[in-house]
Amino acid sequence: MNQQYLLVLLLWTFSWGAPTVTTAQRPPSGSGSLPDKHVSANKSTVLFEGDAVVAFTLTANLRALARDRGDQPVEHAAVLLYNDAKGIDTLPLTLKVRGNFRRSKDNCSFPPLLIDFPKKKTRNTLFAHQNKLKLVTHCQVDEWVVREYLVYKLYNLLTELSFRAQLARVTYADSLGKRTPETHWGFLLEDDSDVAKRNGVKVSNVKQTTMGYADSLSMATVAVFEFMIGNTDWSVPYLHNIRLFDNGQTGSLPVPYDFDYSGIIESTYAIPPEQLGIRSVRERVYRGPVYPVSLFQQVFDKFNDLKPQFYALYQNDSRLDKGYVKRTLKYLDEFYTLINKPAAARLVFGQGAKNGVVIKGLK
C-alpha cells in the first residue's frame, strides 16, 4: 500500500484524539500561483472575523473527487492539515462535490466542494462551531477566486446582513500519491445559519416568492448591487443565488451570493441568458422592482458614501492584475456616473427595468 495513503489513514485515526488550539499560518507558494500578502492569524482568531488569509492542506483521493461530477455526489474521506504554533495539526472530515455550473468538468477543471467538519473535533480551533462550509475553488483561473471574494467584501460594506467569505490558500494533496500537490486560491463561505444568528433573524423557509413580498429597502439594495457588478444570474422567485431571511417585522430579507457570472469578475465562461437581450455580462441590466425615486435615492446615497471604500478594495489588493484593476475602476466609474444623473437613472431603474424577465437559473 502506498506510504502516503498509510500516512493519511494514520492521521485520520490520530486526529480523533484530544483537540488542540490551532492557528493558520503562511503556506508554501504553489506553481503558477498569485502572490499572497496575508499575515498569520493568532489563537483567538474566529473564522470570518478577520481579513488574514488562512492556509491549509486537504488530503483526499483527488482522482475520485474530481471525477464525482454527477447529480448524486458521494462523501469522500479527507484530512485537513494546517500549522499552529506547535506544528502541524489535523482534522478528519468529509468532502462532497457541490454546485451547478461549476460542478461540470466541461466548465471547471476542479469542482467546488462542501466541507463537513466533525463538530466535536473543531473545538478550540480556527474552525470551532463550524459544521458544513462551502469551499469555492479555483475552477479555471486562480485570480477569478480573488475577484469573486472581493465582491463578497463589497456587499459586506453595504450591510451586515450578508455572507462573509474567508480567503484561503488551499493545497490539494492526493492520498494515493499519484498527483503532485497543488496550491490554489479558494474561499470559505459563511453558513446561512450563522448569518442569521449574527443579525438576529431567521433563515426563511419560503420555497418560492416574488420580489414584491421582499422588504423594499433590502430588495432595492440587492438589485442595485447586482446591477453595479453586472450580475444577471440571480432570481428571487426561484431563489437562485438568493437566500431569504425573516425578521418577523418586514417582508423577506434577500441576501445575494455566488457572483462568478458577474461582469466585474470577467470570467470567460460567463454568458448572459438570451432572454435579456444583451451580448456580454459586462452590459448592465437592472432586474429589480421599480421603486419610488426617493427609495432609489436612499440606496444611491449609501453607494455614494461607500465609493472610496469600494475603490480601495481593488486599489490596495496586490493579488490582482493591474490591468484588471484599471478596467474594474472604470467599470465602477460608469455605474457611479449613471446613478448620479437623475434623468439617466430614472430611465434605467424605471421604464428600462427588465424585472418582468424571470430567469430560473443556470444548470
pLDDT score recorded for residue 124: 78
Beta bridge partners of 350: none
10-residue averages of pLDDT along the chain (363 residues):
44 37 37 38 63 94 88 92 77 89 75 90 85 93 97 98 97 94 96 95 92 95 98 94 95 96 94 88 94 96 98 98 98 98 94 64 46
Decide: 97 and 78 in contact? Cβ < 8 Å. no
pLDDT score recorded for residue 32: 37
Total-model pTM: 0.86
Q: How far is CA 183 from CA 27, 33, 218, 228, 260, in A?
A: 9, 7, 38, 32, 20
Instruction: List CB contacts of 131: < 8 A, sequence separation 6 or more.
Output: 116, 117, 119, 191
C-alpha cell at 154: 463589497
- Distance, in Å, from the CA atom of 44 to the CA atom of 201, rounded to the nearest integer, reads 26
pLDDT score recorded for residue 72: 84
